[in-house]
Structure 1
Amino acid sequence: MIKKLQNSDLEVAEKMQVIFQASYAIEAALLKAIDFPPLKRSLENYKKSDTHFYGYFKEEVLAAVIEIIPGESHIHIRSLVVHPDFFRQGIARKLMLFTLENYHSTLFVVETGVDNGPASQLYEKLGFVEVLQWDTDFGIRKVKFELRIEEK
């Protein structure tokens, strides 16, 4: 089940942070990152963020979170994290489909590390197209994907 998360609630923010930390630790290893800024995100940052967070619950346990920044020109999927205990169960795909169905835009944008194969494969299977690669100041090569949807 997917529910909107009230990230301003301390208990909710703490649960979210646990999932972000666990998932990003795996991604940092995949990317061979020594300095990985997402792992430095503070609890206060989650609590005060005005982005939209949705959680995927499996048997009432928060298993994954998607973070969305709605904009006038596009929807930016800022983060998509699944707790390692719930990897390879199709949860990330369900959160992405939920976003594509519930946010109305002609353009969706998402970024990940170039070496994050599972994320890139998911985005490509959903129709996203790679549009840019670049090197970050913290030594990670990133890739940007876009999905354009024709207006009906």
Structure 2
Amino acid sequence: MIKIIDISNRKNAEDVLNMQLLSYMVEAEIIGCYDIPPLKDTVNTLQQCGETFFGYYDREKLCGVISIKINNDEVDIHRLIVHPNHFRKGIAQLLLNLIESMCEVKTMKVATGSKNTPAVNFYKKNGFQIIKEVTVHEQLSLTFFEKIIERSN
């Protein structure tokens, strides 16, 4: 079941942070860089980020999270994370599908580590196009994606 997460609730923020750290540690290993912002988050930074969080729950246990910010006709996906014990179960796809179906936007944007092949392939498979790649420093580059949503009336 997917439901909105009240990130202002400390227990919810702790649950999200704990899963985020596990999930982004896997990404850090894949890309060979541990100096990534999601690994520096705290309960307070999550609670102050201004994002809307949705969680995928299996028997009341949080297994995946997506967070977004909506600005005009654009949704910016800030986090799409799945607990490593639940990789390859379609949870990321369900979360992405929810956002795409519920948001009345024209464009979706997201970024990921350029060397994070599973994430890059996931976004490409879902119709996202690469719009730019930015080198942050020697060990880290980010790939930015965009997807134009065609709504039929």
Query: If the length of structure 2 is used for normalisation, what is the TM-score?
Result: 0.94
Q: Identity of aligned pairs, percent?
A: 32
Mapped to 2, the partners of 1:6 and 1:34 lie a distance apart of 28
Q: Which residue of structure 1 lines up, in the alignment, with residue 150 of structure 2? A: 150
- Structure 1 runs of 4+ with >3 Å offset: none
Letter in 1 for 2:141: R
Q: Distance in 1 between matches of 2:77 and 2:121?
A: 16
Q: Find the counterpart in structure 2 of residue 9 from structure 1.
A: 9
Matches within 5 A, 1:1-152: 1-137=1-137, 139-152=139-152
Q: Deviations over 1:98-117 (max 9, x none)?
A: 00001111100010011111
1:7-61 deviation line (CA, Å, top 9, x unaligned): 0001100000011000000001111004222100111011223210000001211
Aligned partner letter, 2:106: T
**Residue segments in structure 2 that go unaligned for 5+ positions in a row:** none
Name the count of aligned residue pairs: 152
Q: Report deviation, 1:150.
A: 2.9
1:103 maps to a residue whose letter is C
* Distance in 2 (alpha carbons) for counterparts of 1:138 and 1:74: 31
Over the aligned positions, Cα root-mean-square deviation in angstroms equals 1.3
Q: List runs of 5+ in structure 1 lacking aligned partners.
A: none
Instruction: Provide the secondary structure at the position in 2 that maps to 1:53.
Output: strand
Q: Secondary structure at the match of 2:99?
A: helix
My pick for the range that moved more, 134-143 or 51-60, is 134-143
Distance 2:73 2:109 in 1: 11
Instruction: State the distance in 1 between where 2:130 and 2:151 align.
Output: 21
Matched letter for residue 70 of structure 2: P
Give CA deviations for 1:54-106 in whole Å, capped at 9, x if unaligned: 00001211001101011114110011000101011000011000000011111
Supply the distance in 2 between the matched residues of 1:92 and 1:145 (Cα, whole angstroms).
16
Residue 127 of structure 1: SS of its match in structure 2? coil
TM-score, with structure 1 as normaliser: 0.95
Whether the 8 Å CA contact 1:7–1:49 is kept in 2: the answer is no
